[in-house]
Amino acid sequence: MSFAAIRRWRRSSSARFATIFLLLYGAASISLFAFVHYRAIANFNAQTDEWLARETVKLPATLPRADVIERVVRHNRADVHHLRPFGLFDSAGRRLSGAPAALPLDQPEGQAFEMANVTSRGEVDLRAMIVPLANGDRFLVAQDLRESRAFATDLVLTIIWGGLGLLVLGLSGSVLLALAQESRVRRLTQGLHAIMAGRLDARLTPSPRRDELDDLTLEVNRMLDEVQRLMLEVKAAGDNIAHDMRTPLTRLLANLRQADDGAASAPGMAVVIGDAVEEVTGMIGMFDALLRIAEMDEGARRQGFRMLDLSRVVADAADFHEVAALERGISITRRVPDDVAFEGDADLLFEAVGNLVDNSIKYTPEGGQIVISLEAGPILTVADDGPGIPAEQRDKVLGRFHRVETSRSQPGNGLGLPLVAAIARIHRLELRIGDCAPGCVATLAAL
């Protein structure tokens, strides 16, 4: 592993988390093993103390010294390995029979204690108990602690080797985890570099695991989709502005030149000025619509959202445009229930519904019908029996300045539906254009 790779591994959050977990697990394991060791020694001592107490109880305190010595000799002869020696001592602590060679005088009687005993095999540790006899002698029962200490030593060694094995496995696992995560992050970084280099259609590739990093990858891809959409809209908007502004600016220039040559009469001059004002007003309206769409995309209006009755908003928008519909002989049918609660901006929703109704009025032939429906969800539809929109154009008309060829003769700048789509996005709604066979149906539905 190179020095740079080691530095990256040290900076890796995965390696850091794995190391912290390893340290915590190691501390917990050491505490657990220490507790097991302590409890094992305590259990051995408890079993030994139980045997010591049982052996001392077996010996009557009034038994004559000769009988006690005989019992000590008989027991020690049977104890071939000298693991459980008996001893008898007088009141002064001098040995009368058995082992050990000396009696510790500072130990309490009837309680277990540990002592050292020097034998031909060297010094050994004993756990012993002293019981006084009626004649003043002291009877000692002991057990060699070498077996229990050897088990404790084996247990400690097992704990150490097991801990080292866990440490190696943990470090190996943390390194592998860090390298795997670093590889995934490197692939994601390469994808981002490709996008920054100008490949707007490039996307990050998630892994099959679908973990939290993949969730983040999918969210980044959604963000990139939105960024690409906005950038394409900006590019298309620039092209369409240049295309759509060329005609009114040319007409405005012609009117101004006509007014500038001084040949026009006063009534003619008024007509020229009126036409110029109308052209400028149309251009200002176009830029106002663009600014409104930009405001919607920024989401600044969400701060003013509140609970409202969407039924009332839809009814008000229908009432506002009903006069224009009646002038063209178009009937508006409403299928709107009472009290459909929704959180949003009443003014924006009124504008969105109004734009959909105004579009339907604009393209519905005289004597036609417009149907406005609202359901809980919410799901709002505005359907008409006009010429409709071709299937291949339905997504494009939601882009700025795009207009269907058959509608070029109608007044407008191609910003009505994009404005409705922008208002829908900040309300967590989706605008869909469909076929009403005949006619067109526009649907606002919750995502």
pLDDT at 299: 54
pTM score: 0.45
Residue 404 has pLDDT above 60, yes or no: no
pLDDT band at 294 (very low <50, low <70, confident <90, very high): low
pLDDT at 301: 58
pLDDT band at 286 (very low <50, low <70, confident <90, very high): low
CA distances for 326 relative to 90, 310, 416, angstroms = 130, 24, 22
Weakest-pLDDT range from 34-48, 80-94, 250-264, 421-435: 250-264
Residue 3 has pLDDT above 60, yes or no: no
Name residues whose C-beta falls within 8 Å of residue 282's C-beta, 6 or more positions apart in sequence: 248, 413
Class of the CATH domain delimited by 302-446: alpha beta
CATH 3.30.565.10 residue ranges for the chain: 302-446
pLDDT at 410: 55
pLDDT band at 408 (very low <50, low <70, confident <90, very high): very low
- The tens digit of pLDDT for each residue in 409-445 reads 455 556 778 888 888 888 888 888 888 778 888 899 8
- The tens digit of pLDDT for each residue in 328-374 reads 888 888 898 888 889 888 888 898 898 899 888 888 888 888 999 99
Secondary structure string (H, E, C) spanning the chain: CCHHHHHHHHHCHHHHHHHHHHHHHHHHHHHHHHHHHHHHHHHHHHHHHHHHHHHHHHCCCCCCHHHHHHHHHHHHHHCCCCCCCEEEECCCCCEEEECCCCCCCCCCCCCCEEEEEEECCEEEEEEEEEEECCCCCEEEEEEECHHHHHHHHHHHHHHHHHHHHHHHHHHHHHHHHHHHHHHHHHHHHHHHHHHHCCCCCCCCCCCCCCCHHHHHHHHHHHHHHHHHHHHHHHHHHHHHHHHHHHHHHHHHHHHHHHHHCCCCCHHHHHHHHHHHHHHHHHHHHHHHHHHHHHHHHHCHHHHHCEEEEHHHHHHHHHHHHHHHHHHCCCEEEEECCCCCEEEECHHHHHHHHHHHHHHHHHHCCCCCEEEEEEECCCEEEEEECCCCCCHHHCCHHHCCCCCCHHHCCCCCCCCHHHHHHHHHHHCCEEEEEEECCCCEEEEEEEC
CA distances for 435 relative to 123, 359, 393, 429, 444, angstroms = 103, 15, 12, 19, 14
pLDDT at 42: 85
Weakest-pLDDT range from 290-299, 343-352, 372-381: 290-299
CB 374 within 8 A of CB 380: yes
pLDDT at 243: 61
CA distances for 402 relative to 86, 146, 393, 418, angstroms = 109, 95, 9, 9
